[in-house]
Amino acid sequence: MNPILLIIGHVWPEPSTTAAGNRMEQLIHAFLDFGFEVVFGSTAAKSKYSLDLVGIGVREVEFKLNHPSFDDFVKELKPNYVVFDRFMTEEQFGWRVSEQAPDAVKILNTEDLHSLRKSREECHRKDEKFSLDHWKDHSMTLREVASIYRSDLTLMISSFETQILVDEIGIPKNLLLHLPFMLERLSKEEISSWPKFEERKDFICIGNGKHQPNIEAIKTLKNTIWPIIRRSLPKAKLHVYGAYLPQQIIQMHKPQEGFEIKGWAEDLGQVLKNGRLLLAPLSFGAGIKGKLVDAMQNGTPSVTTSLGAEGMHDDLPWGGCITNEWATFAQSALELYQNKDEWEQSQANGIAIVQTHYQRQSLQKTLLNRLKELQEQLPKHRTQNLVGRLLSQQERTATKYMGKWIQEKNKH
């Protein structure tokens, strides 16, 4: 009998609009490759961009928040593994899973450290310098770390975030698994088919409009960086792509200035292959950036910030330029856009990063081995996680009775 995996989604995955949706699709395919029966449920509403899960062999279920029907469903399903998509989902459903499927391995999928992103955003808005102490003092950090301890395993997408959880918080390494994007290896044939330097033109910016760091990055491009580039390259264009772009961004569409808001791209790969350079001036955020990985996968160098490239390439040289000063950012973009040798070296660096750090087969093997190990040693693993047991007893009880109270309240 195949193992049963239940994924409780914060939202329905949208691979064509968000890096998080792309990541979830990769995880689902990994579990299907393992021979698991995969069930995906969420309390969220679907959108026109939602992935057709049934079409890839996944059972879909709609959940109600704070409702006993979830308990009945889990009890009948008897999952071997349960993935909570982000810590808020674990807070809402973790205690229910523990009651109805106590032997299921509980896995937290972080996407990024939400608390780190929130802390950085607050510092950015207050024009304060970010520090890890600010992050450690944040109320969301306490919630997220508690959720990590209550889970049997937490999937971390960023090497930087994995490290600070170990070094700054003291979370045991056996509770974490660094698992970045799982990508197919780039073949020589695919690489040779890419448009060459001379066949590409213009600058690209990519960002989902629901993600505040992307909005700020587009504003920075429009107001500060693009005017510098445009003065030196008066015929160049910057194409801004992304789903859910708000009106304040749409109003920035100025073709006469070479600043063009394009919206959602159905074929992002082709857009990147046609562009010569990706610009990502990110001032805050967390996780690893899907747009930068997408660029490397399509042979497009990028200019970004140290935060943009954080946790993505370890000791390998970046596939482009990294700078945190906007005038330097613009000059780096100009040089890389016009210098064929430098551009080709940056492209080669990006290929090396993809081939070294994001190989699907190797990463899937690591994940499967850890899952097998956990299931075989689950009682011992949980006994050793004393902090997790304490938090499960105290914190979850409070969450449980709040949920029960809401459940009763909803009856009347």
**193 and 340 belong to one structural domain:** yes
**253 and 390 belong to one structural domain:** no
| Domain-terminating residue out of 342, 357, 372 | 357
Total of domains in the chain: 2
**201 and 173 belong to one structural domain:** no
**137 and 89 belong to one structural domain:** yes
**386 and 351 belong to one structural domain:** no
Q: Which domain holds residue 13?
A: 4-182+360-411
Query: Quick one: which H or E segment has residue 42?
Result: strand 37-42
> Does the pLDDT at position 412 exceed 70?
no
**33 and 52 belong to one structural domain:** yes
**253 and 400 belong to one structural domain:** no
Q: What is the mean pLDDT of residues 169-177?
A: 97
Q: What would the pLDDT profile of 288-304 be if each residue is shown by its tens digit?
A: 999 999 999 999 999 99
Q: What backbone torsions phi and psi does residue 187 show, to the nearest 5 degrees?
A: -85, 160
Q: What would the pLDDT profile of 342-368 be if each residue is shown by its tens digit?
A: 999 999 999 999 999 999 999 999 999
Strand boundaries in 142-182, DSSP class E: 153-156, 176-178
| SS3 call for 89 | helix
- Per-residue pLDDT band for 241 (boundaries 50, 70, 90) equals very high
**151 and 258 belong to one structural domain:** no
**337 and 399 belong to one structural domain:** no
**109 and 246 belong to one structural domain:** no
| Domain-terminating residue out of 357, 381, 397 | 357
The answer to pTM > 0.85 is yes
What's residue 393's pLDDT?
A: 83
Q: What would the pLDDT profile of 46-98 be if each residue is shown by its tens digit?
A: 999 999 999 999 999 999 988 889 999 999 999 999 999 999 999 999 999 99
Q: What is the mean pLDDT of residues 20-43?
A: 96
Long-range contacts of 66-69 (CB under 8 A, 24+ apart): 66/92, 66/403, 66/406, 66/407, 66/410, 67/407, 67/410, 68/407
Residue 138 CA to residue 131 CA, distance in Å, equals: 11
Cα atoms in the Cβ-side hemisphere of radius 13 Å centred on 29: 17
* Contact status, residue 272 vs residue 296, Cβ threshold 8 Å: no
Q: What is the CATH number of the domain that holds 277?
A: 3.40.50.2000
Cross-strand pairs, 241: 206, 263
**108 and 219 belong to one structural domain:** no
What is the overall mean pLDDT for the chain? 94
**39 and 50 belong to one structural domain:** yes
| SS3 call for 38 | strand
| Domain-terminating residue out of 341, 357, 373 | 357
